[in-house]
A and B are shown apart, each in its own frame.
Chain A
Amino acid sequence: MEKRLKNLQPGLKKTYFDHLPFTAEHRKEIMKKIQIKNKEEEILLAALQLLHNRKTGFELTELLRARGFQKFENQEGFIYTFLHRLEQKNIIVSEWENNKIKYYQIDRKGKKLEKKLETEGGRSKNIRELIDWVYVNE
Protein backbone atom coordinates (compact mmCIF):
# COMPACT_ATOMS: atom_id res chain seq x y z
CA MET A 1 0.00 0.00 0.00
CA GLU A 2 2.74 2.40 1.06
CA LYS A 3 4.74 1.60 -2.03
CA ARG A 4 1.91 2.09 -4.42
CA LEU A 5 1.05 5.51 -2.98
CA LYS A 6 4.64 6.66 -2.77
CA ASN A 7 4.61 8.43 -6.08
CA LEU A 8 1.15 9.88 -5.70
CA GLN A 9 2.12 13.25 -4.27
CA PRO A 10 4.92 14.15 -6.70
CA GLY A 11 2.81 12.72 -9.49
CA LEU A 12 -0.13 14.94 -8.64
CA LYS A 13 2.16 17.94 -8.38
CA LYS A 14 3.35 17.35 -11.91
CA THR A 15 -0.07 16.66 -13.42
CA TYR A 16 -3.22 17.79 -11.64
CA PHE A 17 -1.96 20.53 -9.33
CA ASP A 18 0.16 21.94 -12.15
CA HIS A 19 -2.94 23.74 -13.40
CA LEU A 20 -3.94 24.86 -9.91
CA PRO A 21 -1.32 27.24 -8.60
CA PHE A 22 -1.92 28.71 -5.13
CA THR A 23 -1.15 32.35 -5.92
CA ALA A 24 -0.92 35.39 -3.71
CA GLU A 25 -4.31 36.34 -5.08
CA HIS A 26 -5.83 33.14 -3.72
CA ARG A 27 -4.24 33.75 -0.39
CA LYS A 28 -5.71 37.24 -0.28
CA GLU A 29 -9.13 35.91 -1.17
CA ILE A 30 -9.03 33.41 1.64
CA MET A 31 -7.75 35.95 4.13
CA LYS A 32 -10.63 38.22 3.16
CA LYS A 33 -13.13 35.42 3.77
CA ILE A 34 -11.59 34.74 7.16
CA GLN A 35 -11.78 38.40 8.00
CA ILE A 36 -15.43 38.58 7.06
CA LYS A 37 -16.00 35.59 9.32
CA ASN A 38 -14.22 37.36 12.15
CA LYS A 39 -16.26 40.42 11.50
CA GLU A 40 -19.45 38.42 11.94
CA GLU A 41 -18.57 37.80 15.55
CA GLU A 42 -17.83 41.47 15.99
CA ILE A 43 -21.15 42.46 14.48
CA LEU A 44 -22.99 40.04 16.72
CA LEU A 45 -21.18 41.42 19.75
CA ALA A 46 -21.85 45.00 18.69
CA ALA A 47 -25.52 44.23 18.11
CA LEU A 48 -25.83 42.61 21.54
CA GLN A 49 -24.16 45.59 23.19
CA LEU A 50 -26.44 48.00 21.36
CA LEU A 51 -29.52 46.03 22.36
CA HIS A 52 -29.01 46.65 26.06
CA ASN A 53 -31.53 49.39 25.39
CA ARG A 54 -34.50 48.44 23.24
CA LYS A 55 -34.15 49.30 19.57
CA THR A 56 -36.01 48.80 16.31
CA GLY A 57 -34.37 46.98 13.42
CA PHE A 58 -33.99 50.30 11.62
CA GLU A 59 -32.21 51.95 14.54
CA LEU A 60 -29.90 48.97 14.90
CA THR A 61 -29.01 49.08 11.19
CA GLU A 62 -28.13 52.76 11.42
CA LEU A 63 -26.03 52.29 14.55
CA LEU A 64 -24.14 49.31 13.11
CA ARG A 65 -23.43 51.34 10.00
CA ALA A 66 -22.17 54.21 12.16
CA ARG A 67 -19.77 51.76 13.81
CA GLY A 68 -18.37 50.90 10.40
CA PHE A 69 -19.96 47.48 9.87
CA GLN A 70 -21.00 46.99 6.28
CA LYS A 71 -22.57 43.60 6.61
CA PHE A 72 -26.12 44.81 6.05
CA GLU A 73 -25.22 47.45 3.47
CA ASN A 74 -27.65 47.16 0.55
CA GLN A 75 -29.25 44.18 2.20
CA GLU A 76 -30.86 45.85 5.15
CA GLY A 77 -33.76 43.42 5.10
CA PHE A 78 -31.43 40.76 6.40
CA ILE A 79 -31.11 42.58 9.71
CA TYR A 80 -34.57 41.09 10.32
CA THR A 81 -33.62 37.50 9.52
CA PHE A 82 -30.67 38.11 11.86
CA LEU A 83 -32.89 39.50 14.63
CA HIS A 84 -35.66 36.94 14.21
CA ARG A 85 -33.17 34.08 14.44
CA LEU A 86 -31.64 35.56 17.58
CA GLU A 87 -35.13 35.90 18.99
CA GLN A 88 -35.92 32.25 18.25
CA LYS A 89 -32.81 31.27 20.20
CA ASN A 90 -34.09 33.39 23.13
CA ILE A 91 -30.98 35.57 22.89
CA ILE A 92 -33.09 38.68 22.44
CA VAL A 93 -36.76 39.42 23.09
CA SER A 94 -39.14 41.59 21.14
CA GLU A 95 -42.18 43.64 21.98
CA TRP A 96 -44.67 45.55 19.89
CA GLU A 97 -45.51 49.12 20.74
CA ASN A 98 -49.13 49.95 19.94
CA ASN A 99 -49.10 47.01 17.52
CA LYS A 100 -47.09 49.20 15.16
CA ILE A 101 -43.40 49.26 16.01
CA LYS A 102 -41.35 46.22 16.96
CA TYR A 103 -38.57 46.69 19.49
CA TYR A 104 -35.78 44.27 20.36
CA GLN A 105 -33.83 43.95 23.58
CA ILE A 106 -31.15 41.63 24.90
CA ASP A 107 -32.29 38.76 27.15
CA ARG A 108 -30.52 36.85 29.93
CA LYS A 109 -29.19 34.23 27.52
CA GLY A 110 -27.95 37.03 25.26
CA LYS A 111 -26.00 38.64 28.09
CA LYS A 112 -24.23 35.35 28.75
CA LEU A 113 -23.38 35.08 25.06
CA GLU A 114 -22.11 38.67 25.08
CA LYS A 115 -19.72 37.91 27.93
CA LYS A 116 -18.46 34.81 26.19
CA LEU A 117 -17.88 36.71 22.95
CA GLU A 118 -15.99 39.42 24.82
CA THR A 119 -13.67 37.01 26.59
CA GLU A 120 -13.00 34.25 24.08
CA GLY A 121 -14.34 35.53 20.77
CA GLY A 122 -15.94 33.07 18.40
CA ARG A 123 -13.65 30.15 19.00
CA SER A 124 -16.00 27.79 20.78
CA LYS A 125 -17.92 25.38 18.61
CA ASN A 126 -21.31 26.47 19.95
CA ILE A 127 -20.73 30.09 19.07
CA ARG A 128 -19.36 29.16 15.63
CA GLU A 129 -22.51 27.18 14.94
CA LEU A 130 -24.71 29.98 16.16
CA ILE A 131 -22.93 32.53 13.99
CA ASP A 132 -23.14 30.33 10.92
CA TRP A 133 -26.84 29.91 11.50
CA VAL A 134 -27.72 33.48 12.41
CA TYR A 135 -26.33 35.14 9.30
CA VAL A 136 -27.30 35.06 5.67
CA ASN A 137 -26.65 31.71 4.04
CA GLU A 138 -24.64 32.81 1.03
Chain B
Amino acid sequence: MSNKHLFLNKVTEQVKSKEAKQSIKLEMEHHIQLAKKGWIRKGLTEKEAEEKAINEMGSPIQLGRELSGIYRPIIDWVIVALTVSLLMIGILPTLSSPLLFIAQKLFMILLGITIVIGFMYVDYRKFADFGYLFYLTGSLILITVIFFNNITINGMNYIKIGPIIIKGIMAIPFFLLAWASFFSKKEFRYVSFLCLFFFSCVLFLFGFDSISTVFIYIFTVAVMLFWSGFSKKKVFITFGTGTILLLWMLFITRGSYQLNRLMAFIFPERYAQEAGYFYLYLEKIWANLKWIGPPDMEKLTFINNTDTVFLQLTYQFGYVMAVILVLLFGTLILKMITNVKKTKNQYAKFLLIGSITLYSVQVIYNLGMCMGFLPVISLSLPFISYGVVPTVINALLIGLILSVIRRKNFQ
Protein backbone atom coordinates (compact mmCIF):
# COMPACT_ATOMS: atom_id res chain seq x y z
CA MET B 1 0.00 0.00 0.00
CA SER B 2 1.35 3.41 -0.95
CA ASN B 3 2.11 6.14 1.58
CA LYS B 4 -0.79 8.13 0.25
CA HIS B 5 -3.26 5.36 0.99
CA LEU B 6 -1.74 4.75 4.41
CA PHE B 7 -2.25 8.43 5.15
CA LEU B 8 -5.85 8.46 3.87
CA ASN B 9 -6.73 5.32 5.81
CA LYS B 10 -5.28 6.77 9.00
CA VAL B 11 -7.26 9.97 8.50
CA THR B 12 -10.59 8.21 7.97
CA GLU B 13 -9.97 5.40 10.44
CA GLN B 14 -12.20 6.84 13.15
CA VAL B 15 -14.94 8.18 10.88
CA LYS B 16 -17.99 5.95 11.38
CA SER B 17 -19.99 6.62 8.22
CA LYS B 18 -18.86 4.73 5.13
CA GLU B 19 -20.04 7.47 2.75
CA ALA B 20 -18.25 10.19 4.69
CA LYS B 21 -15.11 8.03 4.66
CA GLN B 22 -15.27 7.62 0.89
CA SER B 23 -15.88 11.28 0.16
CA ILE B 24 -13.11 12.49 2.52
CA LYS B 25 -10.64 10.08 0.92
CA LEU B 26 -11.59 11.18 -2.58
CA GLU B 27 -11.35 14.86 -1.72
CA MET B 28 -7.99 14.62 0.04
CA GLU B 29 -6.53 12.34 -2.60
CA HIS B 30 -7.37 14.98 -5.19
CA HIS B 31 -5.61 17.58 -3.03
CA ILE B 32 -2.47 15.45 -2.57
CA GLN B 33 -2.42 14.66 -6.29
CA LEU B 34 -2.40 18.36 -7.24
CA ALA B 35 0.15 19.32 -4.57
CA LYS B 36 2.37 16.48 -5.79
CA LYS B 37 2.19 17.76 -9.36
CA GLY B 38 3.25 21.18 -8.10
CA TRP B 39 6.34 19.76 -6.39
CA ILE B 40 7.26 17.73 -9.48
CA ARG B 41 7.16 20.93 -11.51
CA LYS B 42 9.53 22.45 -8.96
CA GLY B 43 12.01 19.69 -9.70
CA LEU B 44 11.38 16.95 -7.13
CA THR B 45 11.24 13.29 -8.11
CA GLU B 46 7.84 11.64 -8.06
CA LYS B 47 8.52 9.86 -4.77
CA GLU B 48 9.86 12.96 -3.06
CA ALA B 49 6.98 15.05 -4.34
CA GLU B 50 4.39 12.64 -2.94
CA GLU B 51 6.21 12.47 0.39
CA LYS B 52 6.27 16.25 0.55
CA ALA B 53 2.61 16.60 -0.43
CA ILE B 54 1.55 14.12 2.25
CA ASN B 55 3.66 15.79 4.95
CA GLU B 56 2.13 19.13 4.12
CA MET B 57 -1.33 17.77 4.94
CA GLY B 58 -0.49 17.70 8.65
CA SER B 59 -0.91 15.06 11.32
CA PRO B 60 -3.24 12.30 10.11
CA ILE B 61 -4.09 11.31 13.68
CA GLN B 62 -5.25 14.79 14.64
CA LEU B 63 -7.08 15.19 11.33
CA GLY B 64 -8.82 11.88 11.88
CA ARG B 65 -9.83 12.83 15.38
CA GLU B 66 -11.42 16.06 14.20
CA LEU B 67 -13.15 14.49 11.23
CA SER B 68 -14.64 11.76 13.40
CA GLY B 69 -16.01 14.57 15.57
CA ILE B 70 -17.47 16.37 12.58
CA TYR B 71 -19.13 13.22 11.23
CA ARG B 72 -20.26 11.96 14.61
CA PRO B 73 -23.71 10.33 14.64
CA ILE B 74 -26.29 12.30 16.62
CA ILE B 75 -28.95 10.98 18.95
CA ASP B 76 -31.73 13.45 19.68
CA TRP B 77 -32.25 12.64 23.35
CA VAL B 78 -35.14 15.09 23.67
CA ILE B 79 -37.18 13.16 21.11
CA VAL B 80 -36.21 9.83 22.68
CA ALA B 81 -37.12 11.04 26.19
CA LEU B 82 -40.47 12.52 25.08
CA THR B 83 -41.40 9.36 23.19
CA VAL B 84 -40.56 7.14 26.15
CA SER B 85 -42.49 9.43 28.54
CA LEU B 86 -45.58 9.37 26.34
CA LEU B 87 -45.42 5.59 26.04
CA MET B 88 -45.12 5.37 29.84
CA ILE B 89 -48.11 7.65 30.39
CA GLY B 90 -50.03 5.15 28.28
CA ILE B 91 -49.95 2.78 31.25
CA LEU B 92 -52.04 5.13 33.42
CA PRO B 93 -55.45 4.51 31.82
CA THR B 94 -55.04 0.75 32.16
CA LEU B 95 -54.20 0.78 35.88
CA SER B 96 -57.77 0.05 36.95
CA SER B 97 -58.05 -2.80 34.45
CA PRO B 98 -57.32 -6.51 34.95
CA LEU B 99 -53.68 -7.52 35.28
CA LEU B 100 -53.57 -9.11 31.85
CA PHE B 101 -54.50 -5.78 30.29
CA ILE B 102 -51.71 -3.99 32.14
CA ALA B 103 -49.20 -6.67 31.16
CA GLN B 104 -50.22 -6.34 27.52
CA LYS B 105 -49.81 -2.58 27.65
CA LEU B 106 -46.36 -3.00 29.24
CA PHE B 107 -45.43 -5.32 26.40
CA MET B 108 -46.58 -2.67 23.90
CA ILE B 109 -44.45 -0.02 25.63
CA LEU B 110 -41.38 -2.24 25.43
CA LEU B 111 -42.14 -3.09 21.82
CA GLY B 112 -42.53 0.60 21.01
CA ILE B 113 -39.20 1.56 22.62
CA THR B 114 -37.43 -1.34 20.90
CA ILE B 115 -38.76 -0.30 17.50
CA VAL B 116 -37.87 3.37 18.03
CA ILE B 117 -34.29 2.58 19.05
CA GLY B 118 -33.91 -0.24 16.51
CA PHE B 119 -35.06 1.89 13.59
CA MET B 120 -32.77 4.72 14.61
CA TYR B 121 -29.83 2.46 13.77
CA VAL B 122 -31.31 1.43 10.41
CA ASP B 123 -29.79 3.47 7.62
CA TYR B 124 -32.80 5.10 5.93
CA ARG B 125 -30.72 5.90 2.84
CA LYS B 126 -30.89 2.22 1.88
CA PHE B 127 -34.62 2.70 1.17
CA ALA B 128 -34.13 5.69 -1.14
CA ASP B 129 -34.25 3.80 -4.45
CA PHE B 130 -36.99 1.29 -3.67
CA GLY B 131 -40.00 3.58 -4.06
CA TYR B 132 -41.86 1.27 -6.44
CA LEU B 133 -41.18 -1.77 -4.29
CA PHE B 134 -42.71 -0.04 -1.26
CA TYR B 135 -45.64 1.17 -3.36
CA LEU B 136 -46.21 -2.38 -4.57
CA THR B 137 -46.04 -3.79 -1.02
CA GLY B 138 -48.52 -1.21 0.25
CA SER B 139 -50.89 -1.94 -2.64
CA LEU B 140 -50.61 -5.69 -2.13
CA ILE B 141 -51.55 -5.33 1.54
CA LEU B 142 -54.66 -3.35 0.59
CA ILE B 143 -55.60 -5.70 -2.27
CA THR B 144 -55.24 -8.69 0.07
CA VAL B 145 -57.50 -7.03 2.62
CA ILE B 146 -60.08 -6.18 -0.07
CA PHE B 147 -60.27 -9.67 -1.56
CA PHE B 148 -59.40 -12.03 1.26
CA ASN B 149 -60.85 -10.41 4.36
CA ASN B 150 -62.41 -12.92 6.71
CA ILE B 151 -63.67 -10.79 9.59
CA THR B 152 -65.47 -7.48 9.84
CA ILE B 153 -65.45 -5.37 13.00
CA ASN B 154 -67.34 -2.07 13.10
CA GLY B 155 -67.61 -2.05 9.32
CA MET B 156 -63.86 -2.49 8.86
CA ASN B 157 -62.47 -5.48 7.06
CA TYR B 158 -59.53 -7.45 8.41
CA ILE B 159 -57.72 -10.63 7.70
CA LYS B 160 -57.18 -12.82 10.69
CA ILE B 161 -54.78 -15.74 10.48
CA GLY B 162 -54.30 -17.19 13.93
CA PRO B 163 -53.05 -14.37 16.16
CA ILE B 164 -52.00 -12.20 13.21
CA ILE B 165 -54.36 -9.48 12.00
CA ILE B 166 -53.78 -7.65 8.74
CA LYS B 167 -55.41 -4.24 8.42
CA GLY B 168 -55.44 -1.62 5.71
CA ILE B 169 -53.69 0.87 7.97
CA MET B 170 -50.55 -1.28 7.85
CA ALA B 171 -50.07 -0.19 4.24
CA ILE B 172 -49.54 3.44 5.24
CA PRO B 173 -45.85 3.26 6.29
CA PHE B 174 -45.03 1.53 3.00
CA PHE B 175 -46.77 4.26 1.01
CA LEU B 176 -44.93 6.87 3.08
CA LEU B 177 -41.55 5.35 2.14
CA ALA B 178 -42.70 5.14 -1.49
CA TRP B 179 -43.81 8.79 -1.69
CA ALA B 180 -40.63 10.06 -0.02
CA SER B 181 -38.64 8.24 -2.67
CA PHE B 182 -40.86 9.43 -5.58
CA PHE B 183 -40.91 13.08 -4.54
CA SER B 184 -37.14 13.20 -4.00
CA LYS B 185 -36.43 12.12 -7.59
CA LYS B 186 -36.04 14.90 -10.11
CA GLU B 187 -37.39 12.78 -12.96
CA PHE B 188 -40.68 12.08 -11.15
CA ARG B 189 -43.46 13.38 -13.42
CA TYR B 190 -46.68 15.01 -12.34
CA VAL B 191 -48.71 12.53 -14.42
CA SER B 192 -47.08 9.59 -12.63
CA PHE B 193 -47.98 11.24 -9.35
CA LEU B 194 -51.63 11.58 -10.34
CA CYS B 195 -51.92 7.96 -11.50
CA LEU B 196 -50.11 6.47 -8.51
CA PHE B 197 -51.98 8.62 -6.02
CA PHE B 198 -55.39 7.99 -7.56
CA PHE B 199 -54.84 4.23 -7.63
CA SER B 200 -53.73 4.14 -3.99
CA CYS B 201 -56.74 6.23 -2.92
CA VAL B 202 -59.11 3.87 -4.70
CA LEU B 203 -57.50 0.93 -2.90
CA PHE B 204 -57.80 2.68 0.46
CA LEU B 205 -61.45 3.55 -0.15
CA PHE B 206 -62.34 0.04 -1.24
CA GLY B 207 -60.30 -1.46 1.56
CA PHE B 208 -63.11 -0.29 3.82
CA ASP B 209 -60.74 0.55 6.55
CA SER B 210 -61.94 3.31 8.82
CA ILE B 211 -62.48 6.71 7.23
CA SER B 212 -59.64 8.03 9.43
CA THR B 213 -57.07 5.83 7.66
CA VAL B 214 -58.02 7.31 4.31
CA PHE B 215 -58.02 10.78 5.83
CA ILE B 216 -54.54 10.63 7.38
CA TYR B 217 -53.13 9.01 4.23
CA ILE B 218 -54.48 11.69 1.90
CA PHE B 219 -53.53 14.48 4.27
CA THR B 220 -49.93 13.23 4.55
CA VAL B 221 -49.45 12.90 0.80
CA ALA B 222 -51.00 16.36 0.32
CA VAL B 223 -48.47 17.94 2.70
CA MET B 224 -45.60 16.13 0.96
CA LEU B 225 -46.97 17.30 -2.40
CA PHE B 226 -46.96 20.88 -1.13
CA TRP B 227 -43.18 20.62 -0.49
CA SER B 228 -42.48 18.79 -3.74
CA GLY B 229 -40.74 20.19 -6.81
CA PHE B 230 -44.01 20.57 -8.74
CA SER B 231 -45.17 24.10 -9.45
CA LYS B 232 -47.47 25.68 -6.88
CA LYS B 233 -50.17 26.05 -9.53
CA LYS B 234 -50.26 22.30 -10.13
CA VAL B 235 -50.24 21.67 -6.39
CA PHE B 236 -53.24 23.91 -5.70
CA ILE B 237 -55.22 22.59 -8.68
CA THR B 238 -54.60 19.09 -7.32
CA PHE B 239 -55.77 20.14 -3.86
CA GLY B 240 -58.92 21.70 -5.29
CA THR B 241 -60.00 18.91 -7.62
CA GLY B 242 -58.87 16.29 -5.09
CA THR B 243 -61.10 17.71 -2.38
CA ILE B 244 -64.13 17.86 -4.68
CA LEU B 245 -63.53 14.34 -5.94
CA LEU B 246 -63.10 13.02 -2.44
CA LEU B 247 -66.29 14.60 -1.13
CA TRP B 248 -68.18 13.24 -4.12
CA MET B 249 -66.79 9.73 -3.58
CA LEU B 250 -67.63 9.88 0.10
CA PHE B 251 -71.14 11.00 -0.74
CA ILE B 252 -71.88 8.24 -3.23
CA THR B 253 -70.42 5.49 -1.06
CA ARG B 254 -71.59 6.36 2.43
CA GLY B 255 -73.39 9.64 1.86
CA SER B 256 -76.33 9.77 4.23
CA TYR B 257 -74.43 8.14 7.09
CA GLN B 258 -71.50 10.57 6.91
CA LEU B 259 -73.82 13.54 6.46
CA ASN B 260 -75.75 12.50 9.52
CA ARG B 261 -72.58 12.33 11.59
CA LEU B 262 -71.41 15.72 10.37
CA MET B 263 -74.76 17.34 11.14
CA ALA B 264 -74.65 15.82 14.61
CA PHE B 265 -71.32 17.54 15.16
CA ILE B 266 -72.64 20.92 14.06
CA PHE B 267 -76.07 20.69 15.75
CA PRO B 268 -75.63 18.21 18.60
CA GLU B 269 -78.91 19.19 20.31
CA ARG B 270 -80.99 18.16 17.31
CA TYR B 271 -79.34 14.77 17.24
CA ALA B 272 -79.20 14.29 21.00
CA GLN B 273 -80.70 10.82 20.76
CA GLU B 274 -78.11 9.52 18.29
CA ALA B 275 -74.70 10.76 17.11
CA GLY B 276 -75.06 14.11 18.83
CA TYR B 277 -75.15 12.47 22.25
CA PHE B 278 -71.37 12.20 22.39
CA TYR B 279 -70.80 15.91 21.82
CA LEU B 280 -73.28 16.90 24.51
CA TYR B 281 -71.67 14.43 26.88
CA LEU B 282 -68.26 15.88 26.01
CA GLU B 283 -69.41 19.39 26.87
CA LYS B 284 -70.75 18.20 30.20
CA ILE B 285 -67.47 16.52 31.10
CA TRP B 286 -65.28 19.50 30.22
CA ALA B 287 -67.56 21.78 32.17
CA ASN B 288 -67.27 19.68 35.33
CA LEU B 289 -63.50 19.17 35.34
CA LYS B 290 -61.24 20.43 38.10
CA TRP B 291 -57.56 21.32 37.90
CA ILE B 292 -56.29 18.41 39.93
CA GLY B 293 -57.88 15.14 40.82
CA PRO B 294 -61.18 13.56 39.89
CA PRO B 295 -64.56 15.23 40.38
CA ASP B 296 -65.74 11.76 41.41
CA MET B 297 -64.68 8.33 40.37
CA GLU B 298 -67.68 7.70 38.15
CA LYS B 299 -66.49 5.75 35.17
CA LEU B 300 -66.95 7.31 31.79
CA THR B 301 -69.60 5.55 29.76
CA PHE B 302 -67.31 5.22 26.78
CA ILE B 303 -64.35 4.27 28.91
CA ASN B 304 -63.70 1.22 26.76
CA ASN B 305 -63.11 3.35 23.74
CA THR B 306 -59.38 3.82 23.64
CA ASP B 307 -59.69 6.63 21.08
CA THR B 308 -60.95 8.96 23.81
CA VAL B 309 -58.17 8.05 26.21
CA PHE B 310 -57.20 11.75 26.43
CA LEU B 311 -60.62 12.47 27.89
CA GLN B 312 -60.35 9.61 30.33
CA LEU B 313 -56.92 10.71 31.59
CA THR B 314 -58.10 14.28 32.00
CA TYR B 315 -61.18 13.06 33.81
CA GLN B 316 -59.11 10.95 36.20
CA PHE B 317 -56.26 13.39 36.87
CA GLY B 318 -57.75 16.80 36.17
CA TYR B 319 -56.85 19.58 33.76
CA VAL B 320 -53.18 19.26 34.76
CA MET B 321 -52.97 16.00 32.88
CA ALA B 322 -54.44 17.61 29.76
CA VAL B 323 -51.87 20.40 29.95
CA ILE B 324 -48.99 17.95 30.47
CA LEU B 325 -50.08 15.81 27.53
CA VAL B 326 -50.50 18.78 25.19
CA LEU B 327 -47.07 20.11 26.24
CA LEU B 328 -45.36 16.74 25.73
CA PHE B 329 -46.93 16.16 22.31
CA GLY B 330 -46.39 19.79 21.31
CA THR B 331 -42.69 19.78 22.23
CA LEU B 332 -42.15 16.46 20.47
CA ILE B 333 -43.77 17.69 17.26
CA LEU B 334 -41.97 21.06 17.30
CA LYS B 335 -38.62 19.40 18.05
CA MET B 336 -39.10 17.14 15.04
CA ILE B 337 -40.13 20.03 12.77
CA THR B 338 -36.98 22.06 13.59
CA ASN B 339 -34.97 19.33 11.88
CA VAL B 340 -36.69 19.67 8.51
CA LYS B 341 -34.94 22.93 7.64
CA LYS B 342 -31.52 21.58 8.54
CA THR B 343 -31.94 18.63 6.20
CA LYS B 344 -30.41 19.08 2.79
CA ASN B 345 -30.82 15.63 1.31
CA GLN B 346 -34.13 15.54 -0.58
CA TYR B 347 -35.08 11.99 0.34
CA ALA B 348 -34.35 12.62 4.02
CA LYS B 349 -36.39 15.80 3.85
CA PHE B 350 -39.49 14.13 2.39
CA LEU B 351 -39.13 11.26 4.82
CA LEU B 352 -39.10 13.76 7.69
CA ILE B 353 -42.02 15.77 6.31
CA GLY B 354 -44.09 12.64 5.69
CA SER B 355 -43.35 10.99 9.04
CA ILE B 356 -43.91 14.16 11.04
CA THR B 357 -47.20 14.88 9.25
CA LEU B 358 -48.45 11.33 9.66
CA TYR B 359 -47.65 11.39 13.36
CA SER B 360 -48.83 14.93 14.08
CA VAL B 361 -52.12 14.69 12.22
CA GLN B 362 -53.17 11.80 14.46
CA VAL B 363 -52.19 13.67 17.61
CA ILE B 364 -53.76 16.98 16.63
CA TYR B 365 -56.96 15.46 15.28
CA ASN B 366 -57.39 13.19 18.27
CA LEU B 367 -56.85 16.01 20.78
CA GLY B 368 -59.16 18.29 18.79
CA MET B 369 -61.79 15.59 18.67
CA CYS B 370 -61.59 14.93 22.42
CA MET B 371 -61.87 18.64 23.13
CA GLY B 372 -64.94 18.82 20.90
CA PHE B 373 -63.46 20.98 18.14
CA LEU B 374 -63.52 18.28 15.47
CA PRO B 375 -66.03 15.62 14.44
CA VAL B 376 -65.50 12.19 15.91
CA ILE B 377 -63.78 9.59 13.75
CA SER B 378 -62.10 6.43 14.88
CA LEU B 379 -58.55 7.64 15.37
CA SER B 380 -56.38 6.67 18.30
CA LEU B 381 -53.95 8.86 20.23
CA PRO B 382 -50.39 7.78 19.34
CA PHE B 383 -48.57 5.94 22.16
CA ILE B 384 -51.30 6.53 24.75
CA SER B 385 -54.12 4.56 23.15
CA TYR B 386 -54.32 0.83 23.36
CA GLY B 387 -53.46 -1.26 20.29
CA VAL B 388 -50.43 -3.03 18.88
CA VAL B 389 -50.70 -1.91 15.26
CA PRO B 390 -50.87 1.87 15.89
CA THR B 391 -48.08 1.59 18.47
CA VAL B 392 -45.84 -0.25 16.02
CA ILE B 393 -46.59 2.19 13.17
CA ASN B 394 -46.00 5.31 15.27
CA ALA B 395 -42.84 3.90 16.87
CA LEU B 396 -41.63 3.18 13.35
CA LEU B 397 -42.26 6.80 12.33
CA ILE B 398 -40.32 8.18 15.31
CA GLY B 399 -37.54 5.65 14.62
CA LEU B 400 -37.32 6.82 11.00
CA ILE B 401 -37.14 10.45 12.12
CA LEU B 402 -34.35 9.60 14.59
CA SER B 403 -32.57 7.70 11.82
CA VAL B 404 -32.58 10.81 9.63
CA ILE B 405 -31.43 13.07 12.49
CA ARG B 406 -28.69 10.62 13.43
CA ARG B 407 -27.17 10.95 9.98
CA LYS B 408 -27.79 14.62 9.33
CA ASN B 409 -24.06 15.36 9.53
CA PHE B 410 -23.26 13.06 6.66
CA GLN B 411 -26.07 13.07 4.18
Contact = CB atoms under 8 A, between A and B. Distances in A.
A76 interface: yes
B59 interface: yes
A57 interface: yes
A81 B66 contact: yes
A67 to B, nearest CB: 18
B409 interface: yes
A74 B308 CA distance: 67
B70 A100 contact: no
A69 interface: no
B258 interface: no
B57 A77 contact: yes
A67 B397 CA distance: 51
Given A84-B70, A85-B70, A88-B409, A76 B26 contact: no
B30 A75 contact: no
A75 B60 CA distance: 10
Interface string B367-390: 000000000000000000000000
Nearest to A89: B342
Contacts, number: 58
B63 A78 contact: yes
B27 A57 contact: yes
A136 B70 CA distance: 12
A100 B409 CA distance: 21
Interface residues of B, number: 23
B58 A58 contact: no
Contacts of B11: 77
Contact of A76 (B31, B60, B409): B31
A77 B70 contact: no
A74 B57 CA distance: 6
Interface in B11-68: 11, 23-24, 26-28, 30-31, 34-35, 55-60, 62-63, 66-67
Contacts of A61: 31
Interface string A34-71: 00000000000000000000001110010000000000
B57 A76 contact: yes
B26 A102 contact: yes
B41 to A, nearest CB: 13
Contacts of A80: 24, 27-28, 31, 63, 67
Chain A residues touching B, range: 20 to 34
Given A74-B58, A75-B57, A77-B57, A58 B35 contact: yes
Nearest to B66: A81
A85 B11 CA distance: 16
Which of A77, A81, A85, A102 gathers most chain B CB within 10 Å?
Answer: A77
A15 interface: no
Contacts of A57: 27, 31
A77 B63 contact: yes
Given A85-B70, A136-B66, A137-B66, A56 B57 contact: no
A77 B27 contact: no
A132 to B, nearest CB: 14
Nearest to A138: B62
A100 B55 contact: no
A24 interface: no
A102 B70 contact: no
A74 B59 CA distance: 9
A75 B66 CA distance: 13
Nearest to A93: B344
B342 to A, nearest CB: 8
Contacts of B59: 75
Contacts of B27: 57, 80, 102
A58 B66 contact: no
Contacts of A85: 70
B58 A56 contact: no
User: Which among A58, A90, A96, A101 has the highest number of chain B CB atoms within 10 Å?
Assistant: A58
Contacts of A76: 31, 35, 56-58
B58 A100 contact: no
Given A58-B35, A77-B57, A100-B26, 13 more contacts: A56-B30, A56-B31, A57-B27, A57-B31, A74-B55, A76-B56, A77-B58, A77-B60, A78-B58, A80-B31, A85-B70, A88-B70, A137-B66
Interface of A: 56-58, 61, 74-78, 80-81, 84-85, 88, 90, 96, 100-102, 136-137
25 contacts: A57-B27, A58-B30, A58-B31, A58-B34, A74-B56, A74-B58, A75-B56, A75-B58, A76-B35, A77-B31, A77-B60, A80-B24, A80-B27, A81-B66, A81-B67, A88-B409, A90-B342, A100-B26, A101-B30, A102-B23, A102-B26, A102-B27, A102-B30, A136-B66, A137-B66
Q: Which 10 A-B pairs have the closest CB atoms?
A: A75-B58, A77-B57, A77-B63, A81-B66, A77-B58, A58-B31, A58-B34, A102-B27, A76-B56, A76-B57
